Structure 1
Amino acid sequence: MNNVLTNVPSELPPGAVMIPDFVSSRRESELLCWIDDQRWRDDLRRRVQHYGWAYDYRARHVSTDAYIGPLPAELRAECNTLCSTGLFDEEPSQIIVNDYQPGQGITPHIDCVPCFGPVIASLSLGSQCEIVFTKKGNSAKVSWLLEPRSLLVLAGTARFEWLHGIPARKSDPVSGTRKPRKRRVSLTYRTMQFE
């Protein structure tokens, strides 16, 4: 993973890498069609799907008995790529799919440290949206536009010392203007890590 991280733009927190067009437009459509045929959980402000392991949002934890089955074959291609390109040392064992409608976001957070491994990756499908990174313990902030089909990888400092969140709004600043958001679906890939 080190050679991938040498080309990180200075605007991103250290240890973060953005890969544009990680999947093709055709693959994006295939993923969205398959995802929309699955069952959604709607007990949050946004709809979610869990694969591999269920995450307990109230406890902010994954327990050893939260295994819900192997990752579906329909989602494995990107897992294989994450591993074969060296972005992950082992194939992800958990995927959470989030469905964001315009105006929805997610509170700034660091993904559960005792639960998940040293690398987190998130694939954006559908609409663009702005992500905001905030340095833990001070006021340093960095904003970045997540483009459709891009993959954001967080490791090292970006994974453990920077919070990341999506502001809840209906448009984002793009090249000096406001661009309306449409529906965005993210797939977050993680490995499990139990103490």
Structure 2
Amino acid sequence: MTTAPSQLSLFPADPSPELPDGLTYREDYITGRDADGLLAAVDASAWLADLKRRVQHYGYRYDYKARQARREDRIGPLPDFLKGVAIRLAREGMFSKPPNQVIVNEYLPGQGIAAHIDCRPCFGETIAILSLGSACVMRFEHHPSSRTVELALQPLSLLTLSSEARHEWTHAIPARKSDLIGGEKHLRSRRISLTFRTMRFE
């Protein structure tokens, strides 16, 4: 069993930050065996190379140029390997119904994602991010106060954003090859994130 990291390792910049309202973080949300199964299913599926990083879309395709997903962007129901997680998220009260849109992101060392808020007109009130593979630091920034919080996302963990954390804070992953976690330099390796959402128009 993975040992839970210390408070310092969870929050690299500040060991006792005031977290955004609506942010929850769960260690070891899935087992290592579950993660292996998810990774195998992801790697057996087709990747898109629309961005600097590789992605997969399920449920609905997200248009990065238009920054939206529409009814006509429907791909189909979630595959079985994602459906089980979606049902669990709803059963445990994180969503009012099982999420029906998932984006899989692959982050190699040196890759990241710019600060953003997930599309408000497209996606519902909760965003859930499941982390597989490497740990990384995610940076949150509040607007307009510019207050920042950094959180180390460990493999097998689940991050959920709702309320203020969903609508008033951007989140980003700095593009670098290592992170300072718990006062120590940690080299990144391949990380896979699975982001679960519901579509507003359904």
TM-score (norm 2): 0.90
- The answer on whether the counterparts of 1:171 and 1:178 sit within 8 Å (CA) in structure 2 is yes
1:112 aligns with 2:119: yes
**Cα displacement (A) at 1:137:** 1.6
Partner amino acid for 1:177? E
Match of 2:57, SS state, is: strand
Once residues 145 and 114 of structure 2 are traced to their aligned partners in structure 1, the CA distance between those partners, rounded to angstroms, is: 17
Q: 1:163 aligns with which of 161, 170, 174?
A: 170
1:40 aligns with 2:40: no
Unmatched 5+ stretches in structure 1: 1-8
Which position in structure 2 is the counterpart of 1:81?
88
Task: Note the 1:1-195 alignment, pairs <5 A.
Answer: 11-194=18-201
Once residues 54 and 106 of structure 1 are traced to their aligned partners in structure 2, the CA distance between those partners, rounded to angstroms, is: 18
| TM-align CA RMSD | 1.2
Once residues 143 and 58 of structure 1 are traced to their aligned partners in structure 2, the CA distance between those partners, rounded to angstroms, is: 28
Once residues 100 and 168 of structure 2 are traced to their aligned partners in structure 1, the CA distance between those partners, rounded to angstroms, is: 23
Partner amino acid for 1:130? V
Partner amino acid for 1:45? K
Partner amino acid for 1:99? E
- The answer on whether the counterparts of 2:17 and 2:149 sit within 8 Å (CA) in structure 1 is no
Percent identity of the aligned residues? 50
- The answer on whether the counterparts of 1:120 and 1:188 sit within 8 Å (CA) in structure 2 is yes
Count how many residue pairs are aligned between Structure 1 and Structure 2.
Answer: 187
Partner amino acid for 2:101? Q
Note closer, same or farther for the CA distance 1:11–1:26 as it changes in structure 2 (3 Å cut): farther
Structure 1 outlier segments of 4+, above 4 Å: none
Task: Report Cα offsets for 1:95-153 as digits up to 9, x if no partner.
Answer: 00000000000000000000000000000000000000000222200000000010000
Partner amino acid for 2:166? R
Match of 2:137, SS state, is: strand
Match of 2:73, SS state, is: coil
TM-score (norm 1): 0.93
Unmatched 5+ stretches in structure 2: 1-15
